[in-house]
Chains A and B, each alone.
Chain A
Amino acid sequence: MRAQSEENFRLWAADVIENMAASTEDELDYSFLIDDIMKLYYQPLNINTAQREDLQRIFFLSDAHIEALLFQRYQVGTFWSVYELQAVEGFNRQIIEWLEPLIVFEPAQSAQVRKFRSRGDLFVRTQWTMETPRGYKAVTDNPPPFQGDKMKYYSRMEWQPARAIEIGFVTEKDPGEPMFDSNIATMDYFSGYLSWKPERFLQQIIVGQFRMSSGQGLALQTGMATRKSNMTTSIRNRNANHRPSLSVNESGGLNGVLVNLGTSGFRITPFVSVKQIDGRLSENEAGEIIIASLKTDGYHRTLTELSQRRNVQEVAAGFMGKVHLGRLILEAGHLEYRLEYPLLPEPRPYNIYYFRGNQMRNSWLACQGSVSNVFLFSEMALSASSTPAVTGGALFSAGGGMANMSLGYRYFPVDYSAPFGAPFSESGNAAGETGVYAGLELALPAGFLLNAYLDYYQHEWLKYQTRAPSNGYDFLGLLTYRPKRTWESGLRYRYKEKTVNLSTATPDFPVGVQKQHQVRLQTRMSPDASWTFTTRVDCHFVNAPNKTDAEPGFYLAQDVRYRSPGGKWNLITRYALMDVDEYENRIYAYEPDVLYSFSTPAYYGRGSRWIVMGKWTVMRKTDLWLRFAQWHYTNRETIGSGNLTINSNVARECRIQIRKRF
């Protein structure tokens, strides 16, 4: 049951992740998505005592679902079995099936007397590309640019020796990075945490790496930002205010001490973080050291990258307060941010409003609450900007949970800057954006479900690769057909219109409108607990102002998953054929991967992709994953660029992971 549920969550997460990957160029750490869920496996929530914040950890429950569940519990008092959840507004069979392994049905007073068992989870992973990229090869008399070998190593451990104590660490070495030598004494990335929850006035202390989130993430959001996805009505930030973190995202996190004080009605959380981060250093005319740009990719493979490794100290300190006033929750906070050297990017028209200097501060005020069946949320945040950034919205349901809707508004001044901010927005750098969002989720007769959103946005200043103020809109419609528990099909259409640069030969009209049409048809059949078949077709069209004869991008893939009876082993295979000539037509597809690793590569080029992955429970509480994947292009002689160039049209990758639970 557990193994099956784990697969279900991953399938669900796949749909969400694909949309996120398609809407950002940044590499995101998607493990945030299932981190909490995995913890709930081992410590299921008592559905009769769970608070709203606890339920928010379950990412497939919408706000409307949570509201309906709490209301139903208020009415019936105690849930005794999973069958009673069918009476909750908006809960369909799929949600109840997914929820079942994450919850227990116990009287309110029994949770505290349940015997605690210590729990630990250790992962060790390695992966490598069988072909050797150019960066690992010596050229004539010059040594290879990459100082390390092509292996990637990753380990992660979480241990809860007592009910109130959690310990964790994570290590990582990327391909090409040296380790245990004069360049890097240990592994490139090493982090961890110690968390203690005394459960009195002192609620929690975290020493080490942690993530924070407040309000709608305008000023503080170091977890995963809320983004547009198939969950069209989920536009509110639902991340927990603070959590220990084992993210390997080397920039943007917090590392220090966090203390959470207070009662259930009022909490205050002071924190301080001190980190060494990467920067491209330079000198100004006065001979002073400045930061030309911050380096956020986390790679330390070449001598240049190694010279930029952790060469800037970043200090962040602040506090966050939270008050529960009945159905209203207020949050406020302040953050002081300081860099060791001033950040002074080279002036360009698009970046003249970017933050410059070495000191920044943000303050914010947020509130959320419900009135009848309408859930409202908003946040206002200040930076050095003369006007505050504002975001807000409403979620409401109608027809007994048959229709859920969301409305959102956002305005970020062009000179707004927040080093740890990541609000719901169209672009990665939200400054200068104004937008309106409307989302709908509508249950239709005969097993149909319609999800749709429309997002209009405009940028009041130039952006990187957009040489003029711009606007655009983004529409998504997803019609899902689920006539029975074992079969689900979906037709998705996405239309996106945005402003892009034209060629430099037309200086009078620097930008034009690019229109993207994306169509996807997917069907998934799970006839029994063992088999899952997924067939998917994607077609992307782009009408670019300077490209009139672009061919559509095409992708057709078949996945087959088999899980042995009893779940001792499983096997997943994929064969995909792609034909994508234009980069703008690239197609993102979530790939089967080992637990806590997510790959959503962009399919671009002509050729095929195949993946085989197996998981085997070698012995009790010990799992082994093996994964093999291959790209085979027919229209390329080489793969990659720069030091990552492979002189072949085939690239093969192996991945091995071992998990030990204790």
Chain B
Amino acid sequence: MCFNSPSYIHDPGNRPRVIVIILIALLHVSPILSGAVTFKAPSGQILGRTGALNDDAWSFFTNPAGAAKMVVPVAGIGYQNDYLLNELSSRSALFVVPTSLCVGATGFSHYGFRHFSIQNYSLMAARELAPWLNMGMRFNYHLRQQTGSKNFGLLTIDTGIQFFPDEKVSIGFFVSNPGQVKWDLDEIVEYHPTFVSSAIQYQPVPALKFELGVAKEMELPAAISFFMEGPLHPQFLMRGGAATSPLRLGIGAGVIWQSLMFDIGLNHHSTLGLSSSFGILFNLPSIKRRQSEAGI
């Protein structure tokens, strides 16, 4: 939508070697690292969406490639609550800065409660390598705290791509923890979740999105998801989604008001009940844009 207008596109230039080196780094050469998504974005995973084709600032918590087309700095905060239980809630903050080299971002999320929590500190870089290709990479440091135990840390990487075979079609692929890194918890060693997803999106008209995706966490059954988003008003987006394994239904909305965007998403599980996610993004005025508006 207008909040992330794709009017500014990086000039990919003629740098094939750099591109390929980045590509390899992104996809495969760093399998020793891993990552996991703990915050379910209000415009993405809370609705059952795979996250492979998120294209707003919340991509920071899903496919980092989705932030590649952002043109202005964005700051955001979010709160997510599984099954309306405070103990299973997550809090997050992020800050996205587009530069001439790439779109950089940093952020934080905190999951859990007083006796058990996981904090994630992340750094992300995304770049539009060609008009038909976005790529992104995210470094995460996970800090695990548990009462009566020492703290444990883990460094991970998430990577993803999005490509656009057609003006109306987008395809995304996202992998978190490609190297299947393990937590070494002194007495036990356990895998950090590996998550992989892919989705295809069709936009018959701008801002109206239909998305079909598949997501798989290594130890869980694959989930197929359907998502749609459409504007009821230029400043009001409605979202809905459904995902399998188990069946979950999601509904959400996005409201744009001046430089702010409010996103909310609800998810219903037939046995466990409702989960919710809420976030606010603040669109910081771009220096470039201000210079441009001022005619400098």
Report which A residues bind B (CB closer than 8 A). Answer: 483-484, 486-487, 523, 525, 527, 530-531, 533, 535, 537, 539, 551-552, 554, 556, 558, 560, 562, 564-565, 571, 573-575, 577, 579, 606-608, 610-612, 630, 632, 634
Find chain B residues with CB under 8 A from A562 CB: 16, 19-20, 23
Whether A530 pairs with B16 at a CB distance below 8 angstroms is yes
Whether B222 pairs with A612 at a CB distance below 8 angstroms is no
Bits for B248-290, please: 1 = Cβ < 8 Å to A, else 0.
0000000000000000000000000000000000000000000
Distance A611 CA – B24 CA, assembled complex (angstroms): 10
Whether B218 pairs with A612 at a CB distance below 8 angstroms is no
Q: Which of A484, A552, A579, A630 contacts B166 (CB 8 A)?
A: A484
Contact A573 to B24, CB < 8 A, known contacts A484-B166, A560-B161:
yes
Closest residue of A by beta carbon distance from B177? A608
Q: Is B247 located at the chain interface by the 8 A CB criterion?
A: no
Whether A612 pairs with B24 at a CB distance below 8 angstroms is yes
Whether B180 pairs with A607 at a CB distance below 8 angstroms is yes
Known: A537-B198, A577-B216. 6 other contacts (CB 8 A): A484-B166, A552-B222, A556-B198, A608-B31, A608-B218, A610-B31
Q: Is B163 located at the chain interface by the 8 A CB criterion?
A: yes
Whether B163 pairs with A525 at a CB distance below 8 angstroms is yes
Find chain B residues with CB under 8 A from A571 CB: 20, 23-24
Closest residue of A by beta carbon distance from B198? A535
Find chain A residues with CB under 8 A from B169 CB: 487
Q: Which of A486, A527, A606 contacts B218 (CB 8 A)?
A: A606
Distance A483 CA – B163 CA, assembled complex (angstroms): 16
Find chain B residues with CB under 8 A from A554 CB: 216, 221-222
Find chain A residues with CB under 8 A from B166 CB: 483-484, 487
Bits for B176-204, please: 1 = Cβ < 8 Å to A, else 0.
00111000000000010010111010000
Taking the closest CB of chain A, its distance from the CB of B215, in whole angstroms, is: 9
Whether B216 pairs with A579 at a CB distance below 8 angstroms is yes
Find chain A residues with CB under 8 A from B238 CB: none
Distance A523 CA – B194 CA, assembled complex (angstroms): 23
Q: Is B243 located at the chain interface by the 8 A CB criterion?
A: no
Whether A537 pairs with B214 at a CB distance below 8 angstroms is yes
Find chain A residues with CB under 8 A from B171 CB: 523, 525, 533, 535
Closest 8 CB pairs of A and B: A487-B165, A525-B165, A558-B173, A577-B196, A554-B222, A527-B132, A562-B20, A610-B28
Distance A624 CA – B23 CA, assembled complex (angstroms): 21
Find chain B residues with CB under 8 A from A484 CB: 165-166
Taking the closest CB of chain A, its distance from the CB of B159, in whole angstroms, is: 9
Find chain A residues with CB under 8 A from B163 CB: 525, 527, 533
Find chain A residues with CB under 8 A from B28 CB: 573-575, 610-612
Find chain A residues with CB under 8 A from B19 CB: 562
Whether B222 pairs with A608 at a CB distance below 8 angstroms is no
Find chain A residues with CB under 8 A from B20 CB: 562, 564, 571
Q: Which of A527, A551, A556, A558 contacts B216 (CB 8 A)?
A: A556
Distance A562 CA – B16 CA, assembled complex (angstroms): 9
Contact A531 to B133, CB < 8 A, known contacts A523-B165, A610-B178:
yes
Bits for B207-226, please: 1 = Cβ < 8 Å to A, else 0.
00000001010110110000
Taking the closest CB of chain B, its distance from the CB of A383, in whole angstroms, is: 48
Q: Which of B24, B133, B175 contacts A577 (CB 8 A)?
A: B175
Whether B161 pairs with A558 at a CB distance below 8 angstroms is yes
Taking the closest CB of chain B, its distance from the CB of A61, in whole angstroms, is: 27
Find chain B residues with CB under 8 A from A539 CB: 222
Distance A166 CA – B192 CA, assembled complex (angstroms): 57
Distance A558 CA – B218 CA, assembled complex (angstroms): 16
Most B C-beta atoms less than 10 A away, residue of A531, A539, A558: A558
Q: Is B123 located at the chain interface by the 8 A CB criterion?
A: no
Can you report 26 residue pairs joining A to B where beta carbons are below 8 Å apart?
Answer: A483-B166, A484-B165, A487-B165, A525-B163, A527-B163, A537-B198, A552-B221, A554-B221, A558-B173, A560-B161, A562-B16, A562-B19, A564-B16, A564-B20, A573-B28, A577-B194, A608-B178, A608-B179, A608-B180, A608-B194, A610-B28, A611-B28, A630-B31, A632-B31, A632-B179, A634-B218
Q: Is B130 located at the chain interface by the 8 A CB criterion?
A: yes
Whether B196 pairs with A556 at a CB distance below 8 angstroms is yes
Whether A634 pairs with B180 at a CB distance below 8 angstroms is yes
Taking the closest CB of chain A, its distance from the CB of B124, in whole angstroms, is: 19
Bits for B15-40, please: 1 = Cβ < 8 Å to A, else 0.
01101100110011101000000000
Find chain A residues with CB under 8 A from B179 CB: 608, 632
Whether A535 pairs with B173 at a CB distance below 8 angstroms is yes
Find chain B residues with CB under 8 A from A537 CB: 198, 214
Closest residue of B by beta carbon distance from A633? B180
Whether B16 pairs with A612 at a CB distance below 8 angstroms is no
Whether A634 pairs with B23 at a CB distance below 8 angstroms is no
Distance A554 CA – B244 CA, assembled complex (angstroms): 15
Q: Which of B24, B31, B161, B216 contacts A533 (CB 8 A)?
A: B161
Q: Which of B133, B180, B200 contacts A527 (CB 8 A)?
A: B133
Distance A552 CA – B223 CA, assembled complex (angstroms): 12
Find chain B residues with CB under 8 A from A564 CB: 16-17, 20
Taking the closest CB of chain A, its distance from the CB of B253, in whole angstroms, is: 30
Closest residue of B by beta carbon distance from A483? B166
Find chain B residues with CB under 8 A from A483 CB: 166
Distance A565 CA – B180 CA, assembled complex (angstroms): 35
Contact A573 to B218, CB < 8 A, known contacts A523-B200, A527-B132, A608-B180:
no
Taking the closest CB of chain A, its distance from the CB of B220, in whole angstroms, is: 9
Most A C-beta atoms less than 10 A away, residue of B20, B163, B179, B180: B20
Taking the closest CB of chain B, its distance from the CB of A573, in whole angstroms, is: 5
Find chain A residues with CB under 8 A from B17 CB: 564
Closest residue of B by beta carbon distance from A528? B130
Whether B165 pairs with A577 at a CB distance below 8 angstroms is no
Find chain B residues with CB under 8 A from A577 CB: 175, 194, 196, 216, 218
Find chain B residues with CB under 8 A from A612 CB: 24, 28-29
Taking the closest CB of chain A, its distance from the CB of B119, in whole angstroms, is: 25
Distance A612 CA – B218 CA, assembled complex (angstroms): 22
Distance A486 CA – B164 CA, assembled complex (angstroms): 11
Find chain B residues with CB under 8 A from A610 CB: 27-28, 31, 178
Find chain A residues with CB under 8 A from B27 CB: 558, 560, 573, 575, 610
Distance A165 CA – B48 CA, assembled complex (angstroms): 65
Closest residue of A by beta carbon distance from B172? A535
Taking the closest CB of chain B, its distance from the CB of A560, in whole angstroms, is: 6
Closest residue of A by beta carbon distance from B222? A554
Find chain B residues with CB under 8 A from A607 CB: 180, 218
Distance A530 CA – B17 CA, assembled complex (angstroms): 12
Whether B29 pairs with A565 at a CB distance below 8 angstroms is no
Distance A530 CA – B27 CA, assembled complex (angstroms): 18
Taking the closest CB of chain A, its distance from the CB of B20, in whole angstroms, is: 5
Find chain A residues with CB under 8 A from B216 CB: 554, 556, 577, 579
Find chain B residues with CB under 8 A from A574 CB: 28
Closest residue of B by beta carbon distance from A537? B214
Whether A579 pairs with B165 at a CB distance below 8 angstroms is no
Whether B221 pairs with A551 at a CB distance below 8 angstroms is yes
Contact A632 to B180, CB < 8 A, known contacts A565-B16, A573-B27:
yes
Find chain A residues with CB under 8 A from B24 CB: 571, 573, 612
Distance A565 CA – B20 CA, assembled complex (angstroms): 12
Find chain A residues with CB under 8 A from B222 CB: 539, 552, 554, 556, 579
